[in-house]
Amino acid sequence: MTTDNPHISEVVRAWASRTPDAVAVESPVRTLTYRQLHDAAAAAATRISRWSAPGDIVAVEAVRTAETVVAILGVLQAGCTYLPLDFDAPATCAEVLARITPTLLLSAGPAPEWAQTIHRTTIDPHGTAPQAGPALLQGAVDLPAYLMPTSGSTGAAKIVEVGHRNMCYNVRALNETIGGITSNDAYLHFASFAFSSSVRQLFLPLSRGARVVLAASAERRDPAQLLRRLGTSKVTVVDVIPSLLAGLLDAAEAAGGFGPHLRLLLTASERLPGELVRRWHPLAPAGCRFFNMYGQTETTGIVSVHAVTAADAQRAVVPIGQPIPETALTLAGPAGAPVPPGGIGEIVVTGPGLARGYAGDPGRTAAAFPVSAANTRTYRTGDLGRYDGQSLQYAGRRDAQVKVRGHRVDLTEVERVLSQHPAVAEAVVVDIGDTEVQVAAAVQLRPGHLDAAVLQRLRELPDGPRVLDLNPPETDFMFAEIFTRAVYLQHGIVLPPDACVIDAGANIGLFTLFAARRAPHGRIIAVEPAGPAAETLRINLAANGCTNAVVREVALGDHRGTATLTFYPHSVGMSSIHADPDHEARTISSIIGNQVAAGEVTGELREVTGELAEAKLVPQKFPCTVTRLSDMLTAEAVDHVDLLKIDVQDSELALLAGIDDADWPRIAQVVAEVRDLGGRLARTVALLRQRGFHVSTAQDTMFAGTDMHYVYARRPGYAQQPLPRARTTVSPPSLPRPVTTGQLLEHLRELPDHHLPALLLILTQIAHTSSGKADRPRVTDALRAHVRRLPQEVGIDDDPVVTVVAEVWKEVLGRPVSAGDDFFEIGGNSLTAARVITRLRVRLGCEIPLRLIFATSELVAFASHLRPEATPHAVSLVGGAAGAPAPDAETVR
pLDDT attached to residue 891: 35
pLDDT at 666 over 90: yes
Give 733's DSSP letter. Answer: P
Distances (CA, A) of 6 to 165, 169, 831: 6, 8, 71
The domain made up of 8-325+340-368 has a fold known as: Rossmann fold (3.40.50)
pLDDT at 886 over 50: no
pLDDT attached to residue 892: 37
Tell me the C-alpha distance between 195 and 689, whole Å: 43
Q: ∠236-238-241 over CA atoms, to 5°?
A: 175
Q: At what angle do helices 830-844 and 609-616 cross, to 10 degrees?
A: 120
Give 447's DSSP letter. Answer: T
pLDDT at 660 over 50: yes
Mean per-residue pLDDT for 684-704?
Answer: 90
Residue 583 pLDDT class (50, 70, 90 cuts)? low
Question: What are the helix (H) ranges across 814-869?
Answer: 830-844, 851-855, 859-866
Residue 675 pLDDT class (50, 70, 90 cuts)? confident
pLDDT attached to residue 869: 45
Residue 876 pLDDT class (50, 70, 90 cuts)? very low
Distances (CA, A) of 371 to 346, 366, 378, 684: 16, 9, 6, 65
Per-residue pLDDT tens digits for 790-825: 655 445 666 788 888 888 888 888 888 877 788 887
pLDDT attached to residue 647: 92
Mean per-residue pLDDT for 243-252?
Answer: 89
| Higher-confidence position of 853 and 65 | 65
pLDDT at 779 over 80: yes
Residue 552 pLDDT class (50, 70, 90 cuts)? very high
Average pLDDT, the chain: 84
Using an 8 Å Cβ cutoff, are 163 and 151 in contact?
no
Q: At what angle do helices 242-255 and 223-232 cross, to 10 degrees?
A: 70
Instruction: Tell me, yes or no, if the two domains 406-448+736-787 and 796-881 fold the same way.
Output: no
Burial group, residue 570, by CB count within 10 angstroms (0-12, 13-18, 19+): buried
Q: Domain map of the chain by residue range? A: 8-325+340-368, 406-448+736-787, 453-579+619-714, 796-881
Per-residue pLDDT tens digits for 585-644: 666 666 666 665 655 555 555 556 556 666 667 778 888 889 999 999 988 889 899 999
pLDDT attached to residue 875: 35
pLDDT at 232 over 60: yes
Per-residue pLDDT tens digits for 13-64: 999 999 999 999 999 888 999 999 999 999 999 999 999 999 999 999 998 9
- Which helix or strand (DSSP H or E) is residue 214 part of? strand 211-214
Mean per-residue pLDDT for 527-539?
Answer: 92
Residue 436 pLDDT class (50, 70, 90 cuts)? low
Per-residue pLDDT tens digits for 123-155: 766 666 554 433 445 556 678 999 998 875 455
High-pLDDT (> 70) share of the chain, %? 84
pLDDT at 423 over 80: yes
Using an 8 Å Cβ cutoff, are 324 and 175 in contact?
no
Tell me the C-alpha distance between 839 and 808, whole Å: 7
Q: Is the pTM of this model over 0.85?
A: no
Architecture in CATH for domain 796-881: Orthogonal Bundle (1.10)
pLDDT attached to residue 801: 84
The full DSSP string for 679-704 is: THHHHHHHHHHHTT-EEEEE--GGGT
pLDDT attached to residue 152: 54
Pairing of strands 561-567, 555-557: unpaired
Q: Edge-to-edge, what's the strand order for the sheet holding 759-763?
A: 424-431, 439-445, 759-763
Tell me the C-alpha distance between 568 and 556, whole Å: 19
CATH of 406-448+736-787 among 3.40.50.1820, 3.20.20.140, 3.30.300.30, 3.40.50.1370: 3.30.300.30
pLDDT at 887 over 60: no
What is the longest distance spanned by two Cα atoms in the chain?
96
Per-residue pLDDT tens digits for 810-868: 888 888 887 778 888 777 877 788 788 888 888 887 888 887 888 888 888 888 888 65
Torsions phi, psi for 439 (to 5 deg) = -95, 125
Which residues lie below 8 Å from residue 208, measured CB to CB, with a gap of 6+?
175, 180, 181, 182, 183, 185
- DSSP, collapsed to helix, strand or coil, labels residue 401 as strand
pLDDT attached to residue 6: 61
pLDDT attached to residue 148: 94
Architecture in CATH for domain 453-579+619-714: 3-Layer(aba) Sandwich (3.40)
Using an 8 Å Cβ cutoff, are 295 and 304 in contact?
yes
Per-residue pLDDT tens digits for 304-351: 999 999 999 999 889 999 999 999 999 988 877 788 888 889 999 999
